[in-house]
Structure 1
Amino acid sequence: MKRERAIPENYMTVGELARKMGTTVRTLQYYDREGIFSPSAESSGGRRLYTYRDMIRLHQILSLKSLGFSLKDIKNKLVSLETPEDVADALTHQADAVKEKIQSLTESLKAIEALKSEVLSMQSVDFKKYADIIINLQMGNEYYWLIKHFDNKMLDHIRTRFDIEGGMAFMNRFQQLNDEAMELKENGVPPQAPKAQILAEKFWNLVLDFTDGDMSMLPSLMEFAGQGDIEKGWGQRQAEISTYLEPALSIYFSRSGIDPFGEE
């Protein structure tokens, strides 16, 4: 029986290419069926043949696949490899995808380490709080660690009162008022001054917005605000702000005829 003609120079069979690239023949056959990676030629005996150019294209596909891209995404990202500029452009796109994945993995690692730190600092296993921390880490909320200081009633209220967008907007508003309070304090503006009274009104409206008018939550809020041992310097700063705001709020309540623990 006559032996099959030898493979032409600079061509590889599907098996040879699979071995060189650390993949499987079945994978390459699947890519061919999906129209994402097909052989450049076929031997007289019907064997699929690939070139070194194909190997570069396969390297691009396998790299993007390892980064989590779907075959549809990969197909859209592949570019021509006809010139050195084409190859360089393909490698640039590939490098950009790797950098993006590295950034994503770095952020995921930071979130995992942050959650691990919070888990170890809590006194008991609480998966609802873990979930809240994860969500806030994903949101990019730098105050995610405050969650472990809230009691269950407060957290249940936050979960039902705010969605992700609303929660972030509230925190930004809260931080802005804190910054205004520190600025007035540092500039020596007295609590009865118009600027301080305007700020007191803003803070009270913030409290009303947070509680949705449920004044039974005030004791919990005051207890939380009074925790001087909260980490990251936050507690100390809040204590300074509270020291400045309390007399301003008292004057505001008196002038407005508001009793925060009773009826207006």
Structure 2
Amino acid sequence: MKSSIGDSEEYMTVGEVAEKTGTTVRTLQFYDRKGLLCPSAQSKGGRRLYTYKDMVRLHQILSLKSLGFSLNEIKNHLSSLDTPDEVAAVLSKQAADLRQKIQRLSEAAEEIDALKAEVIQMQSVDFKKYADIIVNLQMKNEYYWLIKHFDNKMMDHIRKRFTKESGEVFIRGFNKVCDQILELAANHVSPESEDAQRLAKAFWNMIVEFTDGDMSMLPQLMEIGKFEGAKDGWKQKQAAVNAYIEPALDVYFTKQGYDPFQEE
């Protein structure tokens, strides 16, 4: 704290600062004890006094606290406010942090709305599936809505087969293959072509990877495009993928001498 000064309208008591900033005297005293915000001066009568610069620093502390920073982290974020550039830098950092938090909150709100829609469509309360939907929403998995259609056997298999990380890798790979299939279809490449057969093999390998070789899951997977509640854009994309990959798979299976739909 600085040396004693005479009372001046440029200085404020702890009560005045608390009133102006909407905080409490107890909070300001706590920040003082923690070394976060010590009064800049002391009157001749021993009263601890704050300046408007202290109020700016208090605003910085409260903003960082609202973002979830601990008091120790706030100490490390506090910087000097002696020049316009320093003040501007601090405000820019606070604005950036707030925008990030707004983005996170916006994404969380979208996830909640999406989950609510799924909950309404499900026929019964199933918190395991709710949790699965939340995880897939956080993964940005556009197929999250399929979860409500899968039976318990399928969901237990998925939970055991994939972690969040491996699930994200699988989804990226599957989307990439589907996009390549659509590109061949758009260019009217024959399903019997070398490129089409390469993608047929890749597509089938992903099915095998997903099921871990359990062909009893195929009937349920084949129903995916028929599920109610799917977005029109997704259904159109899936229909286009299926329309091209099915004949390509027929050629692939014939060449392999293999028919997975006849196996148990």
Provide the TM-score with structure 2 as the length reference: 0.89
- Aligned pairs for 1:129-208 (under 5 A) are 129-208=129-208
What CA distance in whole angstroms lies between the structure 2 residues aligned with 1:263 and 1:152? 22
Contact 1:227 1:235 in 2 (8 A): no
Q: CA deviation at 1:86?
A: 2.0
SS of structure 2 residue aligned to 1:80: coil
Q: How many angstroms apart in 2 are the aligned matches of 1:86 and 1:239?
A: 57
Q: Is the 2:6–2:44 contact (alpha carbons within 8 Å) kept by the matching residues of 1?
A: no
The CA deviation at 1:224 is 2.4
**For residue 248 of structure 2, what is the aligned residue in structure 1?**
248
What is the identity, as a one-letter code, of the residue corresponding to 1:140? K
Structure 1 window deviating more from structure 2 (29-38 vs 176-185): it is 176-185
Q: Distance in 1 between matches of 2:214 and 2:231?
A: 28
Q: Does the C-alpha gap of structure 1 residues 37 and 228 become closer, same or farther in structure 2, counting only changes over 3 Å?
A: closer
Tell me, in whole angstroms, the C-alpha distance in 2 between the residues paired with 1:163 and 1:173. Answer: 15
| 1:135 Cα deviation after fit | 1.0
Distance of aligned partners of 1:57 and 1:209 in 2 relative to their CA distance in 1, 3 Å threshold:
same
Segments of 5+ residues of structure 2 without an aligned counterpart are none
Q: Which amino acid aligns with 1:134?
A: I
**211-220 or 137-146: bigger deviation:** 137-146
Alignment CA distance shift 1:96-1:74 (3 Å)? same
- Tell me how far apart the structure 1 counterparts of residues 231 and 123 of structure 2 sit (CA, whole Å): 16
Q: Secondary structure at the match of 2:38?
A: coil
> Deviation of residue 8 (structure 1)?
3.7
The answer to whether the 8 Å contact 2:61/2:74 transfers is yes
Q: Which residue of 2 aligns with 1:14?
A: 14
Amino acid at match of 1:234: W
User: Contact 1:228–1:239 (CA<8 Å) still a contact in 2?
Assistant: no
Percent identity over paired residues: 61
How do 1:46-57 and structure 2 match up within 5 A?
Answer: 46-57=46-57
Which residues of structure 1 form unaligned runs of 5+?
none
Distance 2:75 2:192 in 1: 67
Residue 233 of structure 1 aligns to a residue in which SS? helix
More relative contact order, 1 or 2 (CA 8 Å, 6+ apart): 2
Q: How far did residue 262 of structure 1 move?
A: 5.4
Provide the residue aligned with 1:128 in structure 2.
128
Deviations 1:31-58 (A, max 9, x none): 1121111111223443221112111111
**TM-score in terms of structure 1 length:** 0.89
- What one-letter code is carried by the residue in structure 1 that aligns with 2:92? T
Q: Counterpart of 1:189 in 2: which secondary structure?
A: coil
Cα deviation 1:131-190 (Å, max 9, x = unaligned): 111111222223322322322221211111111121111111111111222222222222
Distance 2:64 2:256 in 1: 63
1:113 matched to which residue of 2? Answer: 113
User: How many Å separate the matches in 1 of 2:106 and 2:37?
Assistant: 31
- Structure 1 window deviating more from structure 2 (98-107 vs 218-227): it is 218-227
How far apart, in 1, do the equivalents of 2:193 and 2:97 lie? 56
CA RMSD between the two structures: 2.3
Aligned-residue offset at 1:261: 4.0
Change (3 A) 1:85 1:186: closer
Letter in 1 for 2:209: D
Partner of 2:91: 91
- Contact 1:14–1:49 (CA under 8 A) maintained in structure 2: yes
Range that drifts further, 20-29 or 235-244 = 235-244
Paired residues for 1:70-89 under 5 Å: 70-89=70-89
Question: How much does 1:226 deviate?
Answer: 4.4
Aligned to 1:237: 237
